[in-house]
Amino acid sequence: MTRADARADEATEPIRLLDPDGSLVESDANAEWRELAAQLSTDDRLAMHGEMLRTRRFDIEAGHLQRQGKLGLWVPSIGQEGAQVGAAWASREQDTIFPSYREHLIALHRGVDMLQIIDIFRGAVHGGWDPLETRGMRIYSLVIATHALHSTGYAMGIRLDRACGTGDASRDEAVMAFYGDGAASQGDASEGLVFAASYDAPIVFFVQNNKWAISVPSTRQSRTPLHERARGFGLDAAWVDGNDPLASFAVTRRMLDAARQGRPGYVEADTYRMGAHTTSDDPKRYRPSEEEEAWRRRDPIARLAAHLRELGVDDAALAAQDAEATDLAADMRRRTLAAGTAASDDIFDHVYSEPHPLVLEQKRALAEFEAGFGGES
């Protein structure tokens, strides 16, 4: 696909390979994408289903922990697993991932432990994890859209290091940055697109349009579809059914491999946030229940499960995955309840590489303040 082809592709519907009932969509229009999805074996698709189940069970359990006062906040991703699992499988081992704060499946796919994600939201760590130990998965970005610039700069560095552009997709590096429709309204997101296009950075911006930026609908934020806006910046862009894991994989794989050759891309994944933006808001106050119910019938996990049955996978295999996911979520809960609390003065220990008198004074003042309450800090 050339840039001219991408601009000329004014689709009226997102790219789709699986209907909501799990049946294959076969047409001349999606032949290219079906060929790419054919790279996924039945075992691969079953593994993708397992990852979605594990993420959802983890997500639900984390929400329970927050309601029970064990987490300060939780950011659910329920409903968006299809977009994420396709993108996760489309990435290659050498790629670097810059998430926002809702990419739980991507993190787990790359080797982040469930408890490492939980620790962020219970305030037990001041970062998250070491990307060198999580296959290039960077820490969550809680400040909206700032990582659009961080990821673009990193991708520009890859180009300067000549770690891309050789034509060997198994070796050439690429970057993927994840954010949502709300973040797309931030200035940093637009600046990222400007620099990516200007410097042919090997990056794909994967935007999960879940229809709501907290309580503001995406239709109010952008009069133009997000993928069309990206084309205006000079990027290849595609619009994909984000609740279709196969389509998400095919489109993202094509975009990433093009990015490795100096053609930055943009994927708008059409999906839906089934729950709250975070556990601090109530979606019933700003969106109709009928809308949520309509999207519930397009659930990505049920869609892929139906497809797997069509491929001959029996219910016992799917039930085994469900049981495993439930066990893993329960184990995460046990480990969370058993975990200790980080010392409140840890925040002072990594400000400078060497001790600094002002920081040491602040640390002393905090200890004195906490001692005034009596007992342990």
The 3-state DSSP class for residue 199 equals coil
Q: Over the stretch 237-270, which tens digit does the pLDDT of each residue have?
A: 999 999 999 999 999 999 999 999 999 999 999 9
Sheet holding 175-180, edge to edge: 96-98, 175-180, 203-209, 265-270, 236-241
Q: Reduce the DSSP state of residue 15 to 3 states and report it.
A: strand
Spatial CA neighbour of 58 closest among 106, 105, 125, 127: 105
pLDDT, tens digit (0-9, with 9 covering 90-100), for 181-210: 999 999 999 999 999 999 999 999 999 999
pLDDT of residue 3: 47
Identify the sign of the CA torsion 24, 29, 31, 34.
Answer: negative
The string of pLDDT tens digits covering residues 34-86 is: 999 999 999 999 999 999 999 999 999 999 999 999 999 999 999 999 999 99
pTM for the full predicted model: 0.92
Contact status, residue 58 vs residue 104, Cβ threshold 8 Å: yes
Question: What Å distances lie between residue 301 and 181, 220, 271, 360, CA to CA?
Answer: 22, 29, 13, 51
Angle ∠(17,20,23) on CA atoms, nearest 5: 55
Q: Is 39 helix (H, G, I), strand (E, B) or coil?
A: coil
Task: Label residue 247 exposed, middle or buried (CB < 10 Å: 0-12, 13-18, 19+).
Answer: buried
Backbone phi, psi, residue 61, to 5°: -65, -40
Cα–Cα distance, 202 to 219 (Å, whole number):
29
pLDDT tens digits, 308-317: 999 999 999 9
For residue 135, pLDDT beyond 50: yes
pLDDT at 223 over 90: no
C-beta separation of 93 from 135 below 8 A: yes
129 in Cβ contact with 111 (< 8 Å) = no
Q: Is the pLDDT of residue 165 over 70?
A: yes
How big is the CA angle at 227 (ends 225 and 233), to the nearest 5 degrees? 110
How far apart are alpha carbons 11 and 129 in whole angstroms? Answer: 40
| Tokens coding 59 | 């997500």
The residue among 114, 97, 181 whose CA lies nearest residue 328 is 114
Amino acid at 226: L
Cα–Cα distances (Å) from 198 to 156, 192, 252, 254, 269, in that order, read 10, 10, 21, 21, 24
The pLDDT score that the predictor gives to residue 111 is: 97
What's the one-letter identity of residue 218?
A: S
